[in-house]
Amino acid sequence: MTRQSKSLLVVVAVLLLSTVGAVKIFSHCQIPCGIYDDEMRFTMIAEHIATIEKSMQQITALSNDAAANTNQIVRWVNNKEQHADELTDIVTYYFLTQRVKPAEESDAQAYKDYTKQLTLLHKMMVHAMKAKQTVDLSNVEQLRTLLHEYHDVYFGPEKK
């Protein structure tokens, strides 16, 4: 094999490995294009919460005979974790980075609203993390409550 052939082979191998090991790319690029729907994000989060809840229930039920149901339990655990991660991604990459706007402390009401939004979103992330760690359904209820509270803060209590 010639030196040039070896070099070409190395380049092809590097390109192939970098393509295979590429990181998952999400559809939203964080450019304020305005084509995404805030209300849809709330619906998506609610669906993730429902899926986390169902996963927890299935894990609990299947654990009565864990030896016979190990594969299914693992699949439900993975499903629960995936949906908790996707919920956290929406909170982080959509709301925190794009929709929540920093407010000056000199504007007391705007700063209070800003702080409230940050607090609610952070609590959602914490309960999503706890939902990954356990099958405690109280975390699901907390997520639902926080989602409704955030909806009221984000849109105002008049939009239900």
DSSP the chain: --HHHHHHHHHHHHHHHHHHTPPP--S--S-----S-HHHHHHHHHHHHHHHHHHHHHHHHHGGGHHHHHHHHHHHHHHHHHHHHHHHHIIIIIIIIIIPPP--TTSHHHHHHHHHHHHHHHHHHHHHHHHHH---THHHHHHHHHHHHHHHHHH-TT--
What is the per-residue pLDDT for 27? 47
Q: What is the pLDDT of residues 85-139, one digit of tens each?
A: 999 999 999 999 999 999 999 999 999 999 999 999 999 999 999 999 999 999 9
Percentage, residues of the chain above pLDDT 90: 73
Query: 46-160 has which CATH code?
Result: 1.20.120
Percentage, residues of the chain above pLDDT 70: 78
Which of the two residues, 27 and 138, has the higher pLDDT score? Answer: 138
Which range scores top for mean pLDDT: 4-18, 30-44, 85-99? 85-99
Q: Where are the domains of the chain?
A: 46-160
What is the per-residue pLDDT for 157? 72
